[in-house]
């Protein structure tokens, strides 16, 4: 008879096989949502090869939750030679703009060397965001100049005014892009935002009257939530609440905790310290600080889904169907398919900013190759 130990060992042995088979059986090509008659559509279909290939997630980690966690915890952070610049804003605030210049001295001296402007996620910075660091490595290897925007209070720069950031606060990125354009007026600029950084970038574009005003040639947003209210509700469900909500909330509270004297008169400080979810934090801190009526008004103002027609430059969004921060039901696929400028690449797998493909959590994945291929299109064909 089969002993219990043999049965357990057999089950353990079967797990890798099941995962491997699952990852292969569910692998599929991404779906590209784009208005077919546009030049942007033609360029994406013709030049961005990865969109037309089957995306197979890492065999031992095919699920969205797992990929997101594994990338976050186990990804190696490369040490990069950032040159830090402190950008001072008109209201007395400041934030860090980190530059990674081309290794090649000739490319570095040239004023028209292409520039990728990165915006990290909700509490991410060049100190903490592995997804940004790895993308910066790829951009740098292409000989492009990299400028990484850090929101106020992040990346080791202290707050000088009682103002942080939110998904709809675009003044700082607008001023930063303006500064980059003054310094490198002839260089093509490509904006790339991750998650909340993608929301800030997209909202900046949506507020601009035309392409010229954006200060960018094209943009890409990666794993950005499109409907703030619905995404907030989705990450309050059982597993996302345990796996992600708590961690992000802790980071948000820790960011402002040292500045009690600066903020306590302007927000509900005690409610913020007792917050159980990101929504609680937004209600207690973001809503009063930025003068919103309530959290619903903030979430509506910051949402992307109804602004597709306002985007004045070519933009590619990447989302995964298994990303709990931006489930497929929240994506404005019809509007995107009718849009002159916005396209979406939707994958079956990939989680939130993870998109692993090979066995190691530190290896480049779908995002890094997409960045390089789309960057080539933006800098050489648009």
Q: To 10 degrees, the CA torsion angle through 343, 278, 367, 204?
A: 50
Catalytic residue at 195? Answer: yes
Give the DSSP letter string of 255-289.
HHGGGHHHHTTTS-HHHHHT--SHHHHIIIIIHHH
DSSP β-ladder status, 83-88 and 94-100: antiparallel
Query: How far, rounded to the nearest angstrom, does the alpha carbon of residue 187 sit from its chain's CA centroid?
Result: 23
DSSP β-ladder status, 342-347 and 31-33: antiparallel
Tokens 């939750």 sit on residue: 65
The torsion angles phi and psi of 190, rounded to 5 degrees, stand at -125, 115
CA–CA gap between residue 199 and residue 208 (Å, rounded):
14
**3-state SS, residue 194:** strand
Q: Which residue in the list 23, 95, 125, 195 is annotated as catalytic?
A: 195
153: left (phi over 0), alpha (psi -120 to 50) or beta: left
Catalytic residue at 323? Answer: yes
Q: Tell me how crowded residue 112 is: count the other CB atoms within 10 A of its CB.
A: 11
Sorted by sequence, the CB contacts under 8 Å of residue 172 that are 6+ apart come out as 87, 89, 93, 95, 149, 151, 152, 165
Q: Which residue in the list 228, 231, 323, 341 is annotated as catalytic?
A: 323
**224 within 8 A of 193, measured Cβ to Cβ:** yes
Q: Which residue in the list 101, 134, 341, 352 is annotated as catalytic?
A: 352
User: 163: number of CA atoms within 13 Å, CB side?
Assistant: 14
Tokens 């001023």 sit on residue: 175
CA–CA gap between residue 289 and residue 266 (Å, rounded):
6
Residues assigned a catalytic role? 195, 323, 352
């Amino acid at each position: 008879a089969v002993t219990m130990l043999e049965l357990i060992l057999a089950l353990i042995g079967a797990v890798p096989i099941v995962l491997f088979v699952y990852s292969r059986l569910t692998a599929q090509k991404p779906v590209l949502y784009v208005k077919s008659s546009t030049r942007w559509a033609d360029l994406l279909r013709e030049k961005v090869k990865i969109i037309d290939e089957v995306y197979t997630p890492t065999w031992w980690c095919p699920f969205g939750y797992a990929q997101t966690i594994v990338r976050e915890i186990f990804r190696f952070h490369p040490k990069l030679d950032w040159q830090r610049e402190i950008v001072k804003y008109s209201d007395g605030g400041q934030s860090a703009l980190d530059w990674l210049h081309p290794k090649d001295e000739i490319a570095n001296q040239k004023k028209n060397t292409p520039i990728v402007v990165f915006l990290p996620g909700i509490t991410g910075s060049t100190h903490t965001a592995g997804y940004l660091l790895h993308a910066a490595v790829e951009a740098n290897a292409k000989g492009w100049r990299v400028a990484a925007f850090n929101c106020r209070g992040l990346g080791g720069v202290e707050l000088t005014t009682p103002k942080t950031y939110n998904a709809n606060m675009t003044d700082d990125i607008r001023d930063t892009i303006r500064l980059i354009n003054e310094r490198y007026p002839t260089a093509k600029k490509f904006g790339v935002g991750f998650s909340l950084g993608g929301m800030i970038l997209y909202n900046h574009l949506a507020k601009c009257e035309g392409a010229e005003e954006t200060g960018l040639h094209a943009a890409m947003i990666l794993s950005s939530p499109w409907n703030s209210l619905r995404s907030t509700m989705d990450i309050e469900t059982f597993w996302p609440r345990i796996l992600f909500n708590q961690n992000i909330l802790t980071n948000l509270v820790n960011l402002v905790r040292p500045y009690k004297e600066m903020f306590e008169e302007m927000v509900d400080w005690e409610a913020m310290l007792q917050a159980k979810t990101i929504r609680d934090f937004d209600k207690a801190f973001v809503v009063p600080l930025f003068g919103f009526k309530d959290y619903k008004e903030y979430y509506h103002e910051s949402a992307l889904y109804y602004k597709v027609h306002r985007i004045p430059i070519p933009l590619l969004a990447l989302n995964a169907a298994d990303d709990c921060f931006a489930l497929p039901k929240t994506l404005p696929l019809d509007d995107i398919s009718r849009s002159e400028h916005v396209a979406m690449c939707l994958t079956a797998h990939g989680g939130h900013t993870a998109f692993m493909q090979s066995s190691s959590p530190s290896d480049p994945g779908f995002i890094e190759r997409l960045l390089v291929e789309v960057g080539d299109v933006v800098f050489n064909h648009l």
